Structure 1
Amino acid sequence: MKHTLNGAGIMLGVSLFLACNQGQKDQNAQSSPDAVAVNVDTTVNPRQDYFDYANGGWIKRNPIPPEYNSWGIGNLVREEIYKRLLTINEHAAANPSDPISQKIAAFWKSAMDSTRANADGIKPIEPMLKAIDATTNIEQLVQLIGQNSNATGMFCDMYIGQDAKNSELIAVQFYQGGLGLPNRDYYFNTDARTSTIRNAYPAHVSRMLQFTGMDSIASKKAAEQIMKLETILAKSSRKLEMLRDPEANYHKMAIGGLNKIAGNIDWSAFLKNQGITKYADTVIVGQPEFFTTLSNAIKSEPLEAWKNYVKWNLISEAAPTLSDTISNANFEFYNKLIAGQDKQKPRWKRVLDAEERYLGEALGQLFVKEFFNEKAKKRYENLVEEIRGALKDRIEKLDWMSDSTKQKALYKLSKITKKVGYPDKWKDFSAMEIKEQSYYDNAIAGKKWWHQYYVNKLGKPVDRTEWDMSPQTYNAYYNPSNNEIVLPAGIFTVPGKLDEELDDAIVYGYAGASTIGHEITHGFDDEGRQFDADGNLKSWWTKEDEKKFNERAAVMIKQFDGYVVVDSLHINGKATLGENIADLGGILLGWDAFKKTEQFKKGTPIAGYTPSQRFFMGYALGWLHHTKKENLARSILTDVHSPAKFRVNGPFSDVDAFYEVYGVQPGDGMYRPDSLRVRIW
């Protein structure tokens, strides 16, 4: 997990899961169809393709809207959350009665004012453009980047977060970055889809630079320079799967050590310009070779090229807050061409997305008052303990792990902290200077606040009560440095259903397996298992047990490597290993917990399906989703999660109970020989 220093965005090693509703009222709920039966495609045999069987009926009836590149139950949940947040914003704008609602109202009004944004055009970033033009050497340019709150990701990524090997310390950390395309593979892969995107990229850069005042000839030359610079950086950028090894991406050194490997940048001065004057004598570098390449390019490539590169990054980052013309140009390349989204979301939804980035927890305080009660919080806290107990039983019964490692695993499991619904204490946003000003300026005010928020962490004890997601977020995460699972209130939303309408079979598959069990298993996946109970990157396995784990994980890598998703693109089994392990573990834990319920024991069918069938249907419901080919191709190259279909069919084919419930036999599409099934937890 890492926090971006210059922005409010939080980059987390997490995945999107679904659980259940908190009991909000829906006038149509009592007459609505069964939550899982309605989605079934009866023309598909569940033994051949379970995902298409369980979800195919809904997918056939629900095409992807033009303003999205994918569509599924997660979108339906977010649509409901959007409406709730819209109400909160409109009420705040009409009656800004307290400091929180005043900031929300000011942000909302400025961001919704498209007339002002269109009239301003490029005006909000003109001071920075002039400052770039005024630099006469690379040192001045680097200094300018350090001072600019909108310089997220220029040259490299820098963030402040827990030291992986000493979770009690907060450290400055440097990571590879600086690329305008989604990742390094887009600069080198030769398949037709990626090549088309790469070939279109310089024209997009040129178009954006023309908004800054360049003519077409100058902007074309600048785009060529930028492509050259980024390709140099991409060559020394590690591949997605290589970034998942926490030990290999941890290099702690004195700031002087960074100066030795990348000496053409004065890193001490760079940090000082970031406002970091204390507690930065030691830093953590993720990929040293990247910074050596960056340093060499700083010296070898002309100043003009770097100045154009900074201008490009500036307008690309600012585009969503500027005029419609600039915002639409940005959308055409990144959302339409790369991800297959035909149409922009309406402005109010884009504003809510941005507001979430800067004021998410402030919104959350208002959100939970109305939409998440103590009864719901208690229900899911109890479910966490049932899932924890299921993993305890599994660890104790493992036949491949030694007793010494088992005891440490059980201790780590017992120490996992659960955070459900919302934080016990809220962040104080009073110093964030959101007010009546331009959308761009309010976004900068948000970035400056978050920048200082993380800088202020240096030299202080780690606050392990803090949340890195807002309560209304439709997501969840496991944080290895805190050894915790975090389950925001938003993850427990199911549109159109009251909580009491959902039988245990659905809840244990839908919430217990795909969310809670998944997140707990992350503590014991290929990355998470390398952190101890206190959140430190520290080996606690015997060599023999580690070898056995890796042998079992290799079976899963091979399994997922074999899945072709779109065109000739296969899932990257190594890059997605952690999420695939967590999916499988979550299903097993949810199933073990469900078997102890009265519903399972009684076996009474509902809507024509047995409780056991409904458990698997409930898990599949969490991945009720389809996506465009462009987005699938992008995700294969950039995402550590497998596509939705394979998060159902892949792990189910490794679960013995699934074979028993559905009578899967050799020759069926879902069948894998026992010797090829993944056996880890």
Structure 2
Amino acid sequence: MTILDAARDGMNPDIRPQDDLFGHVNGRWLDETEIPADKSSWGAFIALADAAEQQVRDIITELADRPAEDLDEDERKIGDLYASFMDTETIAAKGLEPIRGLLDRAHSVADLTQLAAFLGVFERTGGPGLFGSYITPDRADASRNIVYLAQGGLGLPDESYYREDKFAEIREKYLAYLTTLLTLSDHDDPAGAAARVLAYESRLAEGHWEAAETRDVQKTTNHKSLEELRELCPAFDWTTYVTGLGGTEETLRRSIVMQPDFFSHLSTVLEETPIETWRDILHVRVVRSSAPYLPDAFVEANFDFYGRTLNGTPELRARWKRGVDFVEGAIGESVGKVYVARHFPPTSKQMMDDLVANLVTAYRRSIEALDWMGEDTKQKAYDKLDRFYPKIGYPTEFRDYSALTISADDLMGNVASASAFETDRQLEKVGQPVDRDEWLMLPQTVNAYYHPGTNEICFPAAILQPPFFSPDADDAENYGGIGAVIGHEIGHGFDDQGAQYDGDGNLHDWWTADDKAAFEAKSEALIAQYDAFEPRNLPGEHVNGSLTVGENIGDLGGLTIAHKAYVISQGGAASVEDRRTLFLNWSHVWRTKRRKEQELQYLTIDPHSPAEFRANIVRNLDEFHEVFETQPGDGLWLEPEGRVRIW
């Protein structure tokens, strides 16, 4: 049975592919499928993730059943982590005891220096801060790692949730949620504190950039010395904070501040917020971040808002599923090592190596044929393409967790220990050479990524399954599935952000002025096209073309090049039927159904377009119109001059 044979029951033959490829391939499935009660969406990605989750559970429970003397150190840690999460009796008996020390310290904060000290220690052990931070290659020198500082500190998904009328009901429910958390954790003024926290977050949100603006890699690249950081945000004690985090002043000797005016705004908010309100804010942050690891009342309150209200999910996931997530977050590569040995055949890796090589060849031929790009820019594009670094299946070396301390009867202690371990691992990278062999995803993750700072494309083992890939599938199906995913990730190297990085991962303008203008004009045309789209289950709402343009360029280039690579793999010619198969499986890959609450949230914050518009990007491909013989008046018809062609 081929991949599409298994998909045919979900197709709707009454919908013509020329009118709506997504509806044709997935229409009956959309009509008849109920999203599982513990999910906010359902489809190919989620189904594969569920299967991987079950496989990981089998690994964990098998280890738990073995005698302790038969386990190595990592295997014991895996079992103890899972046991600590599943021991609900001990969790209930301890109540608030595991966070009482943090709450007492939060309520003893007397000034901004003590606030910075608290936040450093709190973030080190798993708590959220007032801003985001991460460590990755320096955009000016991709051979070295640097600290990035970004806007953050909100409890709602995005700054727009604090100001737009359509989110007023969510704000009311958020206030009720905060009140519940404060009540459960014995605050002496739950309603008043909740109102003060919401007012503070609303004020902080005024300094946030809108989501689409944060995609501008030029605007978000601002190198700052520690002294300049202090000038930018003088109310925050950076030395005290980074010391509590486990670093030194050297950690922040040089950083990249992504939204400088947010940090200026944060300084103002720090000074104008009374210290009594800061205690309330810290109280909420401690309880909210700890809620998944506390007794059931906290778990339920947290899920009721973040699961039911924001995502529309009726039921909390089974505890074992949340336990698997916890283990993977703490010691995921050790689990991945076992997963790969059991579930990733070596033949799949070799086939993927060949597919990646074919996609790169197809990209090169496509660049050669571009009529809007000059030779100077083409040579730089070839150079970048030649420097792509593919990672397939699993790392060459798995992470060393020997310094991680775990106890089977101390869940919150394990949370803190795992977070501190990861914090130290990250801080050790600052200023050091970039490890090109480090993976940013686990082998058991159903996803893929491109990293512009290392010019790498990564395809974990778990995504290399139907409908994306099968050793037994028709070539056309594999090229329409994983081939297009490979093309998509390569395409990110040439999207609105990636095109500004060179082959070494440095932010470097390698385009001539004319070629850059032509590329930007094509990008703007794609933005305008997507701005007009309304999701079928959210009439009146629109896709944000500026927010999603990078992913849309990835989809457009990925599918175009996957088709070209498939034809190359067939000796330069392929039948109309086989090429149709490629497009049909492309649409099948995006077989997804979301709850309206999640769809609305994702329209606001997610750089990916809804699945229907990802599948139907075929409207821009001459090859689709050719093999399906579309005509003016068809739903997906675009006049040739209106089709966006980039790569």
* TM superposition shift of 1:33: 7.8
Question: Do the aligned residues in 2 keep the contact of 1:72 with 1:625 (CA within 8 Å)?
Answer: yes
Residues 469, 482 of structure 2: 8 Å contact kept: no
User: Of residues 440, 444, 466 in structure 2, which corresponds to 1:468?
Assistant: 440
- Asked if 2 retains the 8 angstrom alpha-carbon contact of 1:364 and 1:470, the reply is yes
- Which stretch has the larger CA shift, 204-213 or 436-445? 436-445
Deviation of 1:32 (Å): 9.5
Distance 1:585 1:32 in 2: 23
Residues 25-50 of structure 1: CA deviation (Å, up to 9, x unaligned): xxxxx699813433311121111111
2: distance between equivalents of 1:477 and 1:33? 25
Partner of 1:54: 25
Identify the match of residue 73 of structure 1 among 12, 28, 44: 44
Aligned to 2:58: 87
Equivalent residue, structure 2, for 1:645: 612
Structure having greater relative contact order (Cα 8 Å, sep ≥ 6) = 1
Distance in 1 between residues matched to 2:109 and 2:240, nearest whole Å: 16
| Equivalent residues of 1:150, 1:314 under 8 A apart | no
The alignment covers a number of residue pairs equal to: 640
1:581 maps to 2:579: no
> Could you tell me whether the CA contact under 8 Å between 1:93 and 1:105 is conserved in 2?
yes
State the match for 2:177 in structure 1: 204
Partner of 1:546: 516
Please state how far the C-alpha of 1:494 moved relative to its aligned partner. Answer: 2.5
**How far off is 1:405 after superposition?**
0.5
Q: Which residue of the partner structure matches residue 127 of structure 1? A: 101
Q: 2:336 maps to which residue?
A: 364
Counterpart position of 1:16: none
* Structure 1 equivalent of residue 112 of structure 2: 138
**2:370 alignment partner in structure 1:** 398
Please give the alpha-carbon distance, in whole angstroms, between the structure 1 residues aligned to 2:50 and 2:106. 41
CA separation in 2, counterparts of 1:202 and 1:36? 44
Match of 1:596 in 2: 568
Alpha-carbon distance in structure 2 between the residues aligned to 1:359 and 1:543: 47
Where structure 1 has 5 or more consecutive residues not aligned to the other structure, the ranges are: 1-29, 605-609
Q: 1:661 aligns with which of 607, 618, 627?
A: 627
Deviations 1:328-383 (A, max 9, x none): 10000011101110101111111112222121111111111111122111110110
Q: Would you say 1:611 and 2:584 are equivalent positions? A: no
Given the alignment, which residue of 436, 443, 446 partners 2:418? 446
2:291 counterpart of 1:316: no
Secondary structure of 2:496's match? coil
How far apart in 1 are the matches of 2:326 and 2:408? 17
Partner letter of residue 45 of structure 1? R
Aligned to 1:24: none
Partner of 1:254: 225
Query: Judging changes above 3 Å, is the alpha-carbon distance between structure 1 residues 252 and 69 closer, same or farther for their aligned structure 2 residues?
Result: same
| Maintained 8 Å contact 1:525/1:578 | yes
Please give the alpha-carbon distance, in whole angstroms, between the structure 2 residues aligned to 1:467 and 1:658. 35
The residue identity in structure 1 corresponding to 2:147 is V
Question: What are the ranges of 5 or more consecutive residues in structure 2 without an aligned counterpart?
Answer: none
**2:453 alignment counterpart:** 481
Q: Quote the sequence identity (%).
A: 33
User: 1:107-118 alignment to 2 at 5 Å?
Assistant: 107-118=81-92
Deviation track 1:240-267 (CA, whole Å, cap 9, x = no partner) reads: 1011011101111111111112111121
Matched, 1:524 2:499: no
8 Å contact from structure 1 (residues 151, 313) kept in 2: no
1:228-251 CA distance string (max 9 Å, x none)? 111111111001101101110111
Structure 1 residues 258-277: Cα deviation after superposition (integer angstroms, max 9, x where no partner): 11121111212211221212
Displacement, 1:279? 4.1
Q: Does 1:165 align with 2:137?
A: no
Q: Return the match for 1:300 from 260, 267, 272.
A: 272
Residue 92 (structure 1) shift: 1.1
Whole-angstrom CA distance in 2 between matches of 1:511 and 1:151: 35
The answer to whether the aligner puts 1:103 opposite 2:77 as a matched pair is yes
Larger helix share, 1 or 2: 2
Q: Please identify, of 271-280 and 47-56, the stretch whose mean Cα deviation from structure 2 is larger.
A: 271-280
Q: 1:501 to 1:62 in 2, by over 3 A?
A: farther
Supply the distance in 2 between the matched residues of 1:541 and 1:240 (Cα, whole angstroms).
Answer: 26
SS at match of 1:343: coil
Local SS of the residue matching 2:135: strand
* Secondary structure of the corresponding residue to residue 143 of structure 2: strand
Root mean square deviation, CA, Å: 1.7
Provide, for residues 141-185 of structure 1, a one-character-per-residue CA deviation record: whole Å limited to 9, x for no partner.
221111123454321112222211211121122110000000101
